[in-house]
Amino acid sequence: MITNEDGIMESSPRELTQNPLRKIWIPCKNGLPEKHISQRRVCMTNCPTLIVTVGLPARGKTYISKKLTRYLNWIGVPTKEFNVGQYRRDCLKIYKSFEFFRPDNEEGLKIRRQCALAALNDVRQYLTVEGGQVAVFDATNTTRERRGTIIKFAEQNGFKVFFVESVCEDPDVIAENIVQVKLGSPDYIDCNTDEAIEDFMKRIKCYETSYQPLDEVLDRDLSYIKIMDVGRRYLVNRVVDHIQSRIVYYLMNIHITPRSIYLCRHGESDLNIKGRIGGDSGLSARGKEFAKCLRKFIQDQKIKELKVWTSQMKRTIQTAEALAAPYEQWKALNEIDAGVCEEMMYEEIQEHYPMEFALRDQDKYRYRYPKGESYEDLVQRLEPVIMELERQENILVICHQAVMRCLLAYFLDKSADELPYLKCPLHTVLKLIPVAYGCKVESICLDVESVNTQRDRPENVNISHMAEEAVFTVHAHL
């Protein structure tokens, strides 16, 4: 310890050690990290954030909540959605009719208030005890009184609040939302379509009488985004930190236009055949055959205004060239950088870098190749691609195994633990169709033989395991 001129004790700089898994420098004591690396989570918020939806029923609040939760978790911000409607269903079990939501139904008001408070209690638990950074409070929150209760709750617990209001007056959009989402709700499971629509429209009327939208003057001190008519216009007010700016940027890029996203890997490459990872080799004979079949498949789909994206690597560009269509190259879509292990076989990595081989098996998502990348790095690199994918309509992305896993994990809401093991075989096209609360997936194998590059999660990940055991899940190759 050092004392400065003012008599204040100053600590000397701590020793640093490089974490072998993520290759980052961290403080240590007696040669040991002061905090285990798995506990050292990068925090994108200087205090927990509570996102609060606002709007009448059937305005897309739950769609926004689920999509935002999926995006934030994908970029590494621990986020959880709290749907007050689900709390109400768990409490009531059986829904009878819109009468429950009438503003003069005292019993209904009491139950709804209790459900909101129960959800807020769970929000507190998640953000203060369970390590969450963002909670999404999904409810109508249509009155200034209810929003005031939430603001007070947040202030008492040291949370920042960001409101997301969805305003829509387009009857066609509202009707489509009711048909797509609300008719499949547990509330209407035993109802015919016409009765369900009639009841839900009456439920909306119950809220309209007391609805107080966010006001530019009265609510000028609040942080919020107001989304009007599913993205035709936006009003953004008082964005105060990094996470709020990320939320605004994301919400201004999503749309609900029906479309299809096609994901596939390049055709089989020369290095694929040899069981070597990375590199920048060209297509094998079978890879070129796949490229021809891909062209026929795309032509048969008769896709309106299809855009094609590739990486800047030879094998994806060769695949796209066979399509005889314009394509755009993205450096961000390049395969994960394996650093010193580029163009090596897994058997060679086990032989020359047994510690690295075992560390990657222990935590494949966070493991960073020496002088290379991790899946975690790759997700950050791919965020601009996701933003642009959200803006686009019909698109074909020709990419690589690790890249495709990251993109697929975003659309299918897969965890960091699942992501590195998602199956993305060669010569197979995945057709993704975004739907209300997720994504439909269709897998189309184009019947061109190829090597299997999938290496499943091994059972034994100890550094002391036998070499044969370490490479047990590696498939046969030349």
User: Which residues belong to the active site?
Assistant: 138, 168, 266, 335
Tokens of residue 255, six digits: 């749309």
Does residue 266 sit in helix, strand or coil?
coil
φ and ψ of 81, to 5 deg: -95, 140
Crossing angle of helices 285-301/314-321, nearest 10°?
A: 50
3-state secondary structure labels for all residues of 102-141: CCCCHHHHHHHHHHHHHHHHHHHHHHHCCCCCEEEEECCC
- The alpha-helical segments, DSSP class H, found in 309-452 are 314-321, 346-352, 354-362, 375-391, 401-412
First to last CA, the chain: 60
Q: What are the residues whose beta carbons fall under 8 Å from the beta carbon of 59, sequence distance 6 or more?
A: 166, 167, 168, 174, 177
Q: What is the CA angle 258-401-25, rounded to 5?
A: 110
Tokens of residue 392, six digits: 């686009």
Does residue 404 sit in helix, strand or coil?
helix
Q: Residues in the chain, how many?
A: 478
Does residue 361 sit in helix, strand or coil?
helix
Tokens of residue 19, six digits: 């974490």
Rounded-to-integer distance, Cα 20 and Cα 367, Å? 8
Q: What is the CA angle 365-368-371, rounded to 5?
A: 155
Q: Give me the DSSP letters along 392-451.
A: -SSEEEEE-HHHHHHHHHHHHT--TTTGGG----TTEEEEEEEETTEEEEEEEE------
How far does CA 43 lie from the centroid of its chain?
17
Rounded-to-integer distance, Cα 310 and Cα 214, Å? 43
Amino acid type, 417: D
- The answer to whether the CB of 164 falls within 8 A of the CB of 225 is yes
Tokens of residue 287, six digits: 């890879």
Tokens of residue 294, six digits: 């891909």
Tokens of residue 330, six digits: 């993205």
